[in-house]
A and B are shown apart, each in its own frame.
Chain A
Amino acid sequence: MALATEESIRELPEMTPMGNPLDWSWLRGSKAEWGMKPTPGRRGLTMMDIATGAYGEVLDDPPYRSMAPRGADIDPETPDMGYILNHKSQVWADNVIELYEEAVARQWSSTRDIPWNELQELPPDIEHAMCQLCTVLTEIEMIATDLPAKWMWRMNHHFLEAKMFLSTQIMDEARHSDVFRKRALANGGGLLLSRSEPESLLRSILEAKTYTQASALLHLLGEGFILDVFRQGELIAPTHVEKKIFRLSMQDEARHVAYGTMHIRQAIAGDPDVADEIHEALDHGEQFLIEFGTSPVLSSALAVLLGGGSEHVEDKGFPMQSLLATKIFTSYLARCERAGLNRIDRTDLPLDLLGIDLDAFDRTGV
């Protein structure tokens, strides 16, 4: 498609009939990137497909701090929006565009996609334990909407795909709050106890001083833990209805963890000094997580579900809980390694008590 000629533009009016000035310079197209015409793949036109030329060039230090779209001819007088996260390594992750497209493709509906009418009547202790677990989950999941929302308006719009991915996370977590609230009520039970233990962890995430500290606490530590709680939830789900709830939620959570792991890696690569501030945040966060993970309400509900009933909490529930705790923290430490963060030599987690043998530690975490 040819650009408009200078001659044809000169023939156009300079003012509207109302007397307002007109600017026809856009008719000439945009510098060198006019006519890129990306080709859609079989699944359609993805953000990866259009990340070509200047459109796909994500700068370490973008020159502007406005909402002007990356790749456009930007007015040098474009205003400063007050962004404070203006360096790529402060928000970016190499997998973020892929994760955004994946999130869009794999959205689900708690209303439509869960076969609610196939729930079955359960023994009272199992129903109570499931309702208690759902009470905890519906309480804590909204942290992962509040936290990105707190920081997104401070992120330079040049890093659009990171903000788009975090928007999907906000939707995912709203859905998790929704689906666990629904499950607590849907089988004749209801919401049970909300105790104070989760709130310390949630507050530490919300009050983190930097986005990267917050991301380490939320994506790497908190959501990594919840990913494993969802895996446990699928294991102990009494029917296929709960299994589907936990599997679909697990998929969402794993995307958030994948972003966080690679974001922390990018943050440390961009500024190695950042590792210290992340360590500092995790030093505190891990203690809050232990407090939350061992809270009387959560651990007793999980023990009933893992044991298959309150009569088996001691012979089956607690031993299984202990086995899974080893897996959860091994996975977490391995993700930290992948993120470029050596927690093994620094953590105050009770590794012996958690059954983690440092000599045999597999840095792949599985």
Chain B
Amino acid sequence: MSERVDNLTFYQDLADLMNNNPDQYETLGEVDFTLGVVMADEVGSDLRLRLRFEELGCTDVSPLPEGGESSCDCWLEGDIDSWGEMFNDITTNGRATGRHTVNSLTLVGDRIDVRGDDPMGVDRFFRFNQTIQQFFDGAAELAPAPA
């Protein structure tokens, strides 16, 4: 799994999974939230992307230029290894566990942090947190079945 997390298509796959299963998100309610994701790698070819959540789906997954994350309500920023660990935990356990949930990671903030230019935008991350967690937990369903 960790080899895919720095690829935009992985997030499009997560979005497709969400969009194809609105019933799983219906009880959580509609969302209006634009989340940036910044994955830093050692050679400087960071991945920046925008995830637009509307109603019960993820309606846009698109790359962002450097600094483009400021156009989002807030963004999650961390190194690729940390993102890889988070997704490995999800695929291993079927959902994020322990300190690998997006809330836990960003609360401690030493590996993946939540940032934003406006506290009101950052608060949206908390207002829609269960939906965002469920979106990332979708990685468990995308993982190849064990041999």
Contacts and interface: CB of A to CB of B under 8 A. Distances in A.
B123 A254 contact: yes
B120 interface: yes
A258 B129 contact: no
B101 A335 contact: no
Given A102-B127, A231-B126, A251-B128, A338 B119 contact: yes
Contacts of B120: 95, 258, 261-262, 338
Contacts of B122: 364-366
B116 A107 contact: no
Contacts of A257: 123
A118 to B, nearest CB: 12
B97 interface: yes
A247 B133 contact: yes
Contact of A234 (B29, B104, B109, B127): B104
Contacts of B109: 327
Residue in A102, A231, A366 whose Cβ sees the most chain B Cβ within 10 Å: A366
Contacts of B55: 42-43
Interface residues of A toward B: which range?
35 or more
A105 B119 CA distance: 23
A28 B32 CA distance: 40
A248 B123 CA distance: 14
Interface in A201-241: 227, 231-232, 234-235, 240
A87 interface: no
A108 B27 contact: yes
B119 A335 contact: yes
Nearest to A362: B115
Contact of A251 (B27, B97, B127): B127
A231 B103 CA distance: 7
B24 to A, nearest CB: 13
Given A108-B27, A231-B107, A261 B119 contact: yes
Interface residues of B, number: 33
A247 B95 CA distance: 14
B126 A251 contact: yes
B111 interface: no
Contact of A331 (B28, B30, B119, B127): B119
B27 A113 contact: yes
A234 B119 contact: no
Given A108-B27, A366-B114, A250 B126 contact: yes
A258 B127 contact: yes
B147 interface: no
Interface in A68-83: none
Contacts of B28: 106, 108
B116 A364 contact: yes
B99 interface: yes
A247 B135 CA distance: 14
Contact of B103 (A42, A247, A364): A247
Contacts of A157: none
A107 B32 CA distance: 16
Interface string A326-366: 01000100110110000000000000000000000000111
B23 interface: no
Contacts of B101: 234-235, 243, 247
Interface string B91-107: 00001010101011001
A103 to B, nearest CB: 9
Contacts of A154: none
A247 B130 contact: yes
Interface of A: 42-43, 95, 98, 102, 105-108, 113, 227, 231-232, 234-235, 240, 243-244, 247-248, 250-251, 253-255, 257-258, 261-262, 320, 323-324, 327, 331, 334-335, 337-338, 364-366
3 smallest CB-CB distances across A and B, nearest first, come from A106-B29, A105-B29, A254-B126
26 contacts: A43-B30, A95-B120, A98-B32, A102-B32, A105-B29, A106-B30, A108-B28, A231-B126, A232-B107, A243-B101, A247-B133, A250-B126, A251-B127, A254-B123, A255-B127, A257-B123, A261-B119, A323-B108, A327-B107, A327-B109, A337-B119, A364-B116, A364-B117, A364-B118, A366-B114, A366-B119
